């Protein structure tokens, strides 16, 4: 049996703490917005080649250029190519998937310390990007796996719209929790859109949805726009606990980006971490019972805990 072949390029891969300029160089290659929230940590993956020769292309402000051209321009170091970047940010105060995964440990509104607990114990993976000519080598998984323990928080979370297709977060050691159904009224809005002939292709972007609405008869257009506004208000209320009436363009953008998305939630827990007794955001929790993450659908919620606590009395 022939011995397994290994990629010799991987021997030159190094992961080190990075800076904002590293993210700025690779940000144009990412499919999402370049804004990564309140950034707390950035790590860079580089390839160090012997003799100053490195394969592939180098990201620059004007796009990807061949390594040798970059060398000639002085756009890259003599022996180093930027291969990938991972960005960690401060976690949002409220995530429904997080509440399910942690049994309500960080539930905002059920304890005065919940916000402080989120900032102390959580970070979120905002962006992971690998330069195109380095993809397919498992480098995204490696970049996540090797930097999770270096962030310094007990928990790290992530949301991935393509998690079911590219499960590299799971491969890196994070636990996956399938997404819950969409915001209230999602099925109702989808039905309304389908009824007037606006399928998924018509809502692939705010621009496409706007153009499709222009082709509808007045009565159908009014109906659909009313349903879009209803859904967008519900979506925003679920995010920030306040009901807002978004502008039309904002509502269309929310529909295009989130109506059909079912992101997978991921959570990683440091092996050495033990939650402090009573340090839970849920006011109904038993103060003597820490709340490590539990699989979806397992473990009592706050109301059930309250009933069980009363029953013991």
User: What would the DSSP string read from start to end of 191-209?
Assistant: HHHHHTT--GGGGSSHHHH
- Which residues on neighbouring strands pair with residue 41, listed in sequence order? 88
CA 51 to chain centre: 38
The reported pLDDT for the residue numbered 64 is 56
**Per-residue confidence band for 223, with pLDDT thresholds at 50, 70 and 90:** very high
**Per-residue confidence band for 66, with pLDDT thresholds at 50, 70 and 90:** low
More confident residue, 143 or 102: 143
**Furthest CA-CA distance within the chain:** 77
Res. 105: pLDDT tops 50? yes
Kindly state the average pLDDT of the residues 141-167: 89
The reported pLDDT for the residue numbered 107 is 81
The reported pLDDT for the residue numbered 6 is 64
CA nearest 234: which of 192, 159, 182?
182
- Which residues on neighbouring strands pair with residue 65, listed in sequence order? 58
Dihedral angle of Cα 205, 211, 212, 215, to the nearest 10 degrees: 180
Cβ-based neighbours of 288, under 8 Å, separated by 6 or more: 277, 278
**Per-residue confidence band for 149, with pLDDT thresholds at 50, 70 and 90:** very high
**Per-residue confidence band for 73, with pLDDT thresholds at 50, 70 and 90:** very low
Res. 290: pLDDT tops 60? no
Res. 251: pLDDT tops 80? yes
Res. 281: pLDDT tops 90? no
CA 91 to chain centre: 10
Res. 255: pLDDT tops 80? yes
The reported pLDDT for the residue numbered 148 is 97
Identify the DSSP state of 177. E
Res. 86: pLDDT tops 90? yes
Sign of torsion over alpha carbons 148, 140, 74, 8:
positive
C-alpha–C-alpha distance, residues 281 and 117, integer Å: 7
Lowest mean pLDDT among 36-40, 59-63, 273-277: 59-63
Give the tens place of pLDDT for each residue, 169-198. 999 999 998 766 566 678 899 899 999 999
The reported pLDDT for the residue numbered 275 is 64
Identify the DSSP state of 64. E
- Mean pLDDT across the chain: 77
- Listing from the earlier edge strand, what are the strands of the sheet with 175-177? 13-17, 39-48, 80-90, 122-130, 155-160, 264-269, 175-177
């Amino acid at each position: 049996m022939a011995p397994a072949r290994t990629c010799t390029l991987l021997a030159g891969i190094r992961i080190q703490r990075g800076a904002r300029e590293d993210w700025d160089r690779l940000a144009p290659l990412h499919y999402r917005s370049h804004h990564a929230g309140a950034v707390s940590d950035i790590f860079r993956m580089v390839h160090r080649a012997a003799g100053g020769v490195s394969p592939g292309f180098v990201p620059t402000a004007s796009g990807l250029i061949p390594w040798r051209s970059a060398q000639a321009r002085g756009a890259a170091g003599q022996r180093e190519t930027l291969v990938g970047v991972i960005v960690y940010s401060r976690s949002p105060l409220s995530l429904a998937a997080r509440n399910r995964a942690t049994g309500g440990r960080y539930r905002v509104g059920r304890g005065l310390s919940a916000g402080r607990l989120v900032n102390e114990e959580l970070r979120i993976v905002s962006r992971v990007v690998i330069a195109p000519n380095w993809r397919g080598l498992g480098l995204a998984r490696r970049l996540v796996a090797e930097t999770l323990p270096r962030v310094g928080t007990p928990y790290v979370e992530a949301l991935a719209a393509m998690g079911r297709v590219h499960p590299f977060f799971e491969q890196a050691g994070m636990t996956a929790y399938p997404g819950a159904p969409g915001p209230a009224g999602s099925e109702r809005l989808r039905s309304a859109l389908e009824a007037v002939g606006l399928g998924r292709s018509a809502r692939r972007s705010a621009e496409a949805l706007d153009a499709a609405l222009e082709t509808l008869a007045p009565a159908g257009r009014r109906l659909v726009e009313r349903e879009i506004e209803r859904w967008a208000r519900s979506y925003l209320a679920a995010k920030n606990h306040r009901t807002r009436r978004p502008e039309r363009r904002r509502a269309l953008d929310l529909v295009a980006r989130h109506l059909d998305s079912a992101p997978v939630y991921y959570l990683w827990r440091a092996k050495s971490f033990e939650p402090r007794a009573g340090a839970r955001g849920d006011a109904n929790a038993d103060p003597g019972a820490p709340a490590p993450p539990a699989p979806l659908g397992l473990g009592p919620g706050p109301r059930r805990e309250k009933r069980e606590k009363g029953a013991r009395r």
